[in-house]
């Protein structure tokens, strides 16, 4: 048997939608490996799932999709051996044959499945993952440092690609949580000038620490690109209005409240682009981990005990968290 956190009844996080449960250790199916979880990052998507913004795909699902652990049972899989360190990320499966998969856009696969939504995830002592959707991870960095990159990092990387930032350009970041602070480091490492709009003094302090040229409520100069990480649709018009002609806004979240009515001339004219970000491809993750091997990018983490996952999600909901929260399992 193992311990896990399951979504009992979706609702406001303060109402206790997550419940600590005991379940049998899962067995790997064909092509899957069983992983003993060392650490699992806590993502805003887990909050959306717990609160019902993303309706759970089945009752009692175990969230968590930024898990780092060790293979303890390879089953019939042949890509990993017992003892290998692997990462379990959000994207769990695609069909491989649809027009999107064949075109290299597997993130748009209509039959895609996701860790901690379609199948149980990493808020547990053990988890299974299809070998083709696991990432081989280095062993020279602590698990809690690697975990945030498995979703916050990968989605941030894809968002940066979608934002069409020119070399040395001005990038606006709206909201400065786990994904944003990793994306900021990626962008500045590649020469970008960073402008951050966020609430909360902790987040503002972290943005300054990471070298932002401006931290406040409204960028003082026109931006080449912007990424909206805040799950608030009313931020989108402000981000569009801050762009120079030909600029791009990428919306990074899986959930966004309604976007207000846009004024064509003020928000979209002069060939401003508004783009969404949908999940990621495995190639995005592989490219990110290659960059991590040579760029000075690190997650600013707050480690929480496994027993405090529910309280950590409440901290995310109420803006008390800064950087990345990671649950660490003992033993």
Q: Alpha-carbon distance 54 to 91, whole Å?
A: 15
Average pLDDT, the chain: 95
**Residue 4, beta-bridge partner list:** 21, 124
- 216 Cβ neighbours under 8 A, 6+ residues apart: 196, 197
pLDDT at site 320? 87
**pTM above the 0.85 mark?**
yes
Q: What is the pLDDT of residues 265-324, one digit of tens each?
A: 999 999 999 999 999 999 999 999 999 999 989 999 999 999 999 999 999 999 888 899
Q: Alpha-carbon distance 19 to 22, whole Å?
A: 10
Percentage of the residues of the chain whose pLDDT score is greater than 70: 99
Is residue 77 pLDDT above 90, yes or no? no
The rounded radius of gyration (Å) of the Cα atoms in the chain is 19
Question: How many other β-carbons are positioned within 10 Å of the β-carbon of residue 263?
Answer: 12
pLDDT at site 331? 57
3-class secondary structure, 62? coil
Average pLDDT of the residues in 42-70: 94
pLDDT confidence band for 137 (50 / 70 / 90): very high
pLDDT at site 319? 85
For the chain, the straight-line distance linking the first and the last C-alpha, in angstroms and rounded, comes to 15
Average pLDDT of the residues in 112-123: 97
Is residue 75 pLDDT above 90, yes or no? no
Question: How many other β-carbons are positioned within 10 Å of the β-carbon of residue 121?
Answer: 29
**Cα angle vertex 178, ends 286, 290, to 5°?**
20
């Amino acid at each position: 048997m193992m311990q896990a956190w399951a979504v009992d009844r979706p609702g406001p996080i303060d109402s206790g939608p997550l419940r600590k449960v005991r379940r049998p250790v899962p067995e790997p199916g064909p092509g899957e490996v069983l992983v003993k979880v060392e650490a699992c990052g806590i993502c805003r998507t887990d909050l959306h799932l717990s609160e019902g913004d993303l309706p759970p795909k089945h009752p009692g699902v175990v969230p968590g999709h930024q898990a780092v652990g060790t293979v303890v049972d390879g089953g019939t899989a042949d890509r990993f051996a017992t003892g290998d360190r692997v990462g379990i990320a959000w994207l769990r499966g695609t069909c491989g044959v649809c027009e999107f998969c064949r075109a290299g856009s597997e993130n748009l696969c209509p039959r895609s499945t996701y860790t901690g939504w379609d199948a149980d995830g990493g808020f547990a002592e053990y988890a299974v993952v299809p070998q083709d959707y696991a990432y081989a991870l280095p062993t020279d960095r602590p698990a809690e440092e690697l975990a945030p990159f498995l979703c916050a990092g990968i989605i941030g990387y894809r968002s940066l690609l979608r934002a069409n930032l020119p070399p040395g350009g001005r990038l606006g970041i709206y909201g400065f949580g786990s994904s944003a602070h990793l994306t900021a480091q990626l962008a500045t490492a590649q020469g970008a000038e960073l402008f951050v709009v966020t609430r909360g003094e902790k987040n503002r302090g972290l943005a300054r620490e990471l070298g932002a040229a401006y931290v406040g409520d409204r960028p003082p100069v026109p931006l080449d690109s912007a990424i909206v990480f805040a799950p608030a649709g009313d931020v989108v018009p402000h981000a569009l209005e801050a762009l120079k002609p030909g600029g791009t806004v990428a919306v990074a979240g899986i959930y966004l409240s309604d976007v207000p009515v846009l004024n064509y001339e003020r928000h979209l004219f002069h060939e401003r682009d508004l783009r969404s970000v949908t999940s990621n491809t495995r190639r995005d993750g592989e490219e990110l981990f290659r960059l991590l091997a040579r760029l000075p990018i690190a997650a600013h983490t707050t480690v929480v005990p496994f027993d405090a996952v529910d309280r950590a999600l409440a901290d995310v909901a109420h803006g008390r968290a800064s950087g990345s929260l990671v649950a660490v399992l003992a033993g």
